[in-house]
Amino acid sequence: MGDRVPLLGSEPRYYLSQTDRYIYSDLQRHSGAVVFAAARGDESAYEDGNLKHGTFSYALLELLQRSPPPGGVSAIGFSELYRRVAERVKELSDHHQHPTVDRDNLILRLSLPYFPPPPPPEDSGDPVSDPVLD
């Protein structure tokens, strides 16, 4: 059997940690690949039933799904993203989980766009034409 992955706030779920489940890439190619991992190799990645996500996924989505800061900025640089997500994951996991990054091209400037969630659909009052009920 595999390692047990803790689940905060509810019953534990067990995941197999088999090496054949991972996707390997040849980092010797210097392709610009970035591995942003939820935890260090000697740690477990936590889930929280109240968040409905793992702490890493929650922190990443929380940051990227907000409205962009004022001033026309539509993306966040990877260094800033890493710093803020790592701080939030440590906070959510009570300092038991520390995200890590492995980059093969340190010169590459990487940024990710903010993508605020769409507004909820308006209720038309007509259950036949209301897409939420379809």
Query: Is residue 66 in some structural domain?
Result: yes
What local confidence, expressed as pLDDT, does residue 30 receive? Answer: 60
Query: Is residue 104 in some structural domain?
Result: yes
Number of domains in the chain: 1
- CA-based nearest residue to 57, from 35, 36, 83, 78: 36
Q: Tens digits of per-residue pLDDT, 91-116?
A: 999 999 999 998 776 777 788 888 87
Query: Is residue 3 in some structural domain?
Result: no
Minimum mean pLDDT among 13-27, 45-59, 63-77: which range? Answer: 13-27
Residues with Cβ < 8 Å from 134, sequence gap 6 or more? none
Query: Is residue 23 in some structural domain?
Result: no
Rounded alpha-carbon distances, angstroms, from residue 5 to 32, 44, 54? 30, 6, 11
User: Can you give the residue range of the structural domain that contains 46?
Assistant: 30-115
